[in-house]
Chain A
Amino acid sequence: MLSKESFREISPADFFYRNRDIAGFSNPSRAVYSTIREILENSLDACEIGGFPPDILIKLETLEYTPSGTQILKITAIDNGTGVPHKYVPQAFGQVFFGSKYVLRQSRGTFGLGGKMAYLYGQITTHTPLHVITGYHGKVHEYLLRIDIQRNQPIILKESFVKRSKWHGVLLEFNLEGNYRLASAKILEYLKETAMVTPYANITFIDPDGRLIRFYRVTREMPTPPRETLPHPHGVDVEGLRRLISTSNAKDMKTFLTTSFHRIGPATANSFLSWASKIMKKHNLKKLNPKKLTHEELVMLARCLHSYDGFLLPDASCLSPIGPQLLKKGIQKELKPEFVEAIARKPSAYSGHPFIVEAAIAYGGNIPPGIKLYRFANRIPLLYDESSDVSWKVVFQLINWKYYKIDPNNDPVAVAIHIASTKIPYKTVGKEFIADRPEIEREILNAVRELTRKLSRFIAKREKIKYQSKRFNVFKKYLPVMVKYAALTVNRPIPDISKLLKRSPINDEET
């Protein structure tokens, strides 16, 4: 009784429609949070690539309440980013996996998925189209789009030229079903933490009750935008290698290596190829046309590229760290601490992917007692699953706070850790926590240690000042009383102790 299995290809849009949980759209409240997050991150990326200090507005309105207790929300988002070239608008907003993010450059999203997942979710829950207005290179166009989920194709309902204008950016409008009430705390925390790492952005949020929440920029200085880069040999897999070969015009291995990879020059290519020749037992590898490699040779070459230790580490020009100054400004602005210090570690790499760890520590001000950890990856705040994250392990397990004379339960300490990388090693598609790669863990640990030492010195200094003024108060309180009673005991006039009091804070003889 065998039934006929039906095999059929499903489109990427269909795949994510069926598996929306893994992309962060598992329930109505999480969906609102993820939508805001994806929209805001796309907007920030678009502004930074153009070098425009971001001005972003996101507005939520309740259109109606559903019998199941959720809301139909209308989201409006406006940014002043680069805008989208008009011919790409339908694909950019209506086709999953189409985007500008499939190059090796650090950006907030990596899958080219998040924004579209939000419109997709909106479409499947409310059956309404996406309204896009974008200004690009002096012209403003307007679109009304829908996604054909089964075929992963945009359906253009309306397309029109609006006017000529200098305005650049994107306005988006669409409806979705969600539960704002349950999501609001996370959304506000998310916005606050985003503001912390983007002190050069004005972010305005209007919630469904009409409350306006605004995060002001404190600087127009922005991080240097990242540059695109070739892959590093340590980071490429067999499939990646095959694709590189198929798109390369090189006629020999040496040219292929020097033109397709990051950090391979002629000298490095030569020494690598003579080393790899021995391993692969293949003479004259240098002159071989890469397109003629057999399957087995391709696999071996990929292994060689992975294990050869003569390559320089990837450089960090493709990364865009926040920079200690901006990080400090952001924290200063959002937490108003008594003390803040930030550092950036030197660029490092794991499995061929460059990364930079930046960290900041803050004390006092609006920070509540205990240690608060703020995690960021490519300038995105990470809010969920904190205790599975490598930063959590460093801050709450590896650092011995007592050693630095810091009480981890009562001292108001905030630690912010930012990892910038072309490939953040997320443990899940939900992009909420980072795997504990030893290279990354070591950098975070060193960064936090260095900062903790600085904080420890600050606290010690502050304690000393506090101690000295407390000490002086003790003298002012007790010395006159002591002298008074000594004098009363023997009926003598009370001697003058003003000189002694002046000396007291200096004369510190502890026994």
Chain B
Amino acid sequence: MKKHSAPEIKKETLYLIESFAIEILKQIEKGQFPTIELPARTTGNIVYDQRLRQYVLGNKVIRRRASNVKHLRPLTQLTWVAYIASMLIKEGKSSTLRDVFYMASGSDVPFSSQDESDRIITELESILKHPREHFNIYPEERSAIFGDLDIEYTVKGYEGRVINLTMFPDGVVIGPALASSNFIQTSADKVIVIEKSAMFTRFIEEEAWRKFNAILIHTMGQAPRSTRVLIRRLNQELNLPVYLFADADPWGLHICQVIISGSANAAHIPELATPDAKWAGVYASDITKYDLPSEKLSEVDLKRLKELLRDPRYQSEPWKSEISYFFEVKKKAEQEAFSKYGLSFIVDEYLKARLEELESL
């Protein structure tokens, strides 16, 4: 269980950053212009790995040579970002993409825009094969977690402090401190991931966590990467099955799919995906099955569904048949649609039935 613990991950990330710096210094000492290799993140080099069930980068690499005048600036920027990342880890401080851009403006390394600094940070991720959260650069958006799980903080000033994640009825924000904490113990036997915070609150109120013995997480739409890492850790470190629950529309489908098999955008980072997580709804077929209040699928929705139909990640069941069902009914429904049958229906009836169904598979 300790193998993937947060401090271990940080240590490994720091080690990789230092190796990168040493690689540069070694070449300089030999009187060479440093050259580094990084995986090509071009669309041609992003492939879907059937075995890993996620997007990964292919074998193509690009070389950054300090002898090339065009490479010199990005290489210098990369070295600076690596230095900043090492300092963040060493000092136990966290920052955001925006922070890093502003830090650069006060340094001797120029970035012309935040796009440029974001791109260089992504390059460092691809070299280290670690998401930026591992070197303490966090997204602005925050999702939350609630459930019977004891965690131990590792962040500065809170080292060793343990809390139980049922302590706060609003849930605990998945920020840098939580993302880098160690799991101590849990009585839960599953994780339920919910797209919307309103539903998350409903689930807490309806004591879904107790009824299903589950840890609840809400993603606030597309799950931030630190949340995806956390879901993966819950699945891998604690062996908890993960159930994903989003709106019955192409966007809800994709929120679940990205958690399961990763996104093309983050193909350079392994260990973001949770391939064993299960999509629990709301299915297109639920719209008719439960006679849910629904809306017509828009042009944009239909276009997106057609794209999903061609996507290798959607070639298995239940995705395939649910997508064709969407085309059949041409309707979509939100999680809240279950309120038609009272506020507790979604937890007591629908989710109960669905989880039984999935567990029996």
Contact mask for chain B residues 299-318; partner A; CB cutoff 8 A; 1 contact, 0 none: 00000000000000000000
Residues of chain B in range 6-55 having any CB-CB distance to chain A below 8 Å: 17-18, 20-22, 24-25, 28-29, 31, 33-34
Check if B67 sits within 8 Å of A485, measured CB to CB: no
Classify the secondary structure of B's interface with A: helix
Check if A509 sits within 8 Å of B68, measured CB to CB: yes
Closest approach, in angstroms, between the C-beta of A37 and any C-beta of chain B? 54
Contact mask for chain B residues 72-89; partner A; CB cutoff 8 A; 1 contact, 0 none: 110110011011001000
Q: A475-B72, A489-B21 are in contact. Are A482 and B31 (CB under 8 A)?
A: no
Check if A487 sits within 8 Å of B72, measured CB to CB: no
> In the bound complex, how far is the Cα of B40 from the Cα of A511, in angstroms?
15
Give every chain A residue within 8 A of B17 (Cβ-Cβ): 489
Is A481 at the interface (CB under 8 A from chain B)?
A: yes
A residues near B (Cβ < 8 Å) are 471, 474-475, 478-479, 481-483, 485-490, 492, 495, 497, 499-500, 504, 507-511
> In the bound complex, how far is the Cα of B72 from the Cα of A489, in angstroms?
18
Closest approach, in angstroms, between the C-beta of B24 and any C-beta of chain A? 4
From B76, B86, B109, residue with most partner A Cβ within 10 Å: B76
B residues near A (Cβ < 8 Å) are 17-18, 20-22, 24-25, 28-29, 31, 33-34, 63, 65-70, 72-73, 75-76, 79-80, 82-83, 86, 108-109
Check if A490 sits within 8 Å of B72, measured CB to CB: no
Q: Which of A474, A495, A507, A509 contacts B29 (CB 8 A)?
A: A495
Give every chain B residue within 8 A of A509 (Cβ-Cβ): 65, 67-68
Check if A474 sits within 8 Å of B73, measured CB to CB: yes
> In the bound complex, how far is the Cα of B24 from the Cα of A478, in angstroms?
14
Give every chain B residue within 8 A of A478 (Cβ-Cβ): 72-73, 75-76
Give every chain B residue within 8 A of A471 (Cβ-Cβ): 69
Check if B31 sits within 8 Å of A489, measured CB to CB: no
> In the bound complex, how far is the Cα of B161 from the Cα of A338, in angstroms?
74
Give every chain A residue within 8 A of B79 (Cβ-Cβ): 481-482, 485-486, 489
Check if B24 sits within 8 Å of A482, measured CB to CB: yes
Check if B18 sits within 8 Å of A489, measured CB to CB: yes
Closest approach, in angstroms, between the C-beta of A480 and any C-beta of chain B? 9
Check if B65 sits within 8 Å of A511, measured CB to CB: yes
Check if B65 sits within 8 Å of A486, measured CB to CB: no
Q: A495-B28, A495-B29 are in contact. Are A489 and B69 (CB under 8 A)?
A: no
From A482, A500, A508, A511, residue with most partner B Cβ within 10 Å: A482
Closest approach, in angstroms, between the C-beta of A482 and any C-beta of chain B? 4
> In the bound complex, how far is the Cα of B299 from the Cα of A333, in angstroms?
70
Check if A499 sits within 8 Å of B31, measured CB to CB: yes
Give every chain B residue within 8 A of A482 (Cβ-Cβ): 24, 34, 66, 72, 75-76, 79-80
Check if B25 sits within 8 Å of A490, measured CB to CB: yes
Give every chain A residue within 8 A of B34 (Cβ-Cβ): 482
> In the bound complex, how far is the Cα of B18 from the Cα of A500, in angstroms?
23
Closest approach, in angstroms, between the C-beta of B296 and any C-beta of chain A? 53
> In the bound complex, how far is the Cα of B34 from the Cα of A510, in angstroms?
14
Check if A483 sits within 8 Å of B24, measured CB to CB: yes
Give every chain A residue within 8 A of B72 (Cβ-Cβ): 474-475, 478-479, 482
Check if A490 sits within 8 Å of B21, measured CB to CB: yes
Give every chain A residue within 8 A of B18 (Cβ-Cβ): 489-490
Check if B29 sits within 8 Å of A485, measured CB to CB: no
Known pairs A479-B76, A483-B25, A509-B68; list 12 more (Cβ under 8 Å).
Answer: A474-B72, A481-B109, A485-B76, A486-B82, A486-B83, A489-B17, A490-B18, A490-B22, A490-B25, A495-B25, A504-B33, A509-B65
Closest to B22 in A: A490
Give every chain A residue within 8 A of B70 (Cβ-Cβ): 510
> In the bound complex, how far is the Cα of B34 from the Cα of A509, in angstroms?
12
Give every chain A residue within 8 A of B109 (Cβ-Cβ): 481, 485
Q: A487-B25, A500-B28 are in contact. Are A511 and B76 (CB under 8 A)?
A: no
> In the bound complex, how far is the Cα of B68 from the Cα of A236, in angstroms?
68
Check if A500 sits within 8 Å of B76, measured CB to CB: no
Closest approach, in angstroms, between the C-beta of A394 and any C-beta of chain B? 38
Give every chain B residue within 8 A of A497 (Cβ-Cβ): 28
